[in-house]
Amino acid sequence: MPAPATRRARSPQARETDDATRYLGALFARDDPGTWIEVRYRHRDSMRSAFFAPSAIHQAARAIVRQGISTDVYVGVAARRSRHGAKHAITTVATLWADLDTPDARRALGGLPVAPAIVIASGIIRSGLARARCASGDIRRRHVISGARAIRVVSGGDDAR
């Protein structure tokens, strides 16, 4: 009789990479070839960016987890048309997001007219980030800024930037 198969425990880093891969897939799997995912991270007293094609979501997830061990990491939720992190590199947006960093803002999520598709606890227990995938990927930048500002105002989140 063969010995029972033993299941090897996965490392926390492997599980985090799987989570990050699913998250990036939800944001970028439908984006066009030729767009870029921006991953920004702190390095000493400045910020650095790395860019990944939507087809390289797993590599981006591994980089996020690896950098996240020692520093803050941020993902630009709108795909870029060029390897640049500024707003001018964004032509369309398929995701609205809002930083909701207060307990009141988190409680207000339940009262929004559309439930967020993703809510992220971003390091501080009372902190979170709500992201909702839009029905259409063809939303102009000014509408995104207005929509994100409205989410923050309704929920009591951070001031619009």
Per-residue pLDDT of the chain (161 residues; tens, 9 = 90+): 566 666 677 788 888 999 999 989 988 888 888 999 999 999 999 999 999 999 999 999 999 999 998 998 989 888 999 999 888 898 778 777 777 767 777 677 777 777 777 777 665 444 344 444 444 444 444 444 444 555 554 455 555 44
CATH of segment(s) 92-161: 3.30.70
The reported pLDDT for the residue numbered 31 is: 83
Residue 11 is predicted with a pLDDT of 87
The whole-angstrom separation of Cα 112 and Cα 4 is 50
Query: What are the start and end residues of each CATH 3.30.70 domain in the chain?
Result: 92-161
Encode burial over 99-126: b for 16+ CB neighbours within 10 A, e otherwise. Answer: bbbbeebbebbeeeeeebebeeeeeeee
Cβ-count burial of 39 within 10 angstroms (0-12 exposed, 13-18 middle, 19+ buried)? Answer: buried
Q: How far apart are CA 102 and CA 157, in angstroms?
A: 7
For the segment 120-132, what is each residue's pLDDT rounded down to a tens digit? 766 544 434 444 4
The one-letter code for the residue type at 127 is S
Contact present, 45 and 79 (Cβ < 8 Å) = no
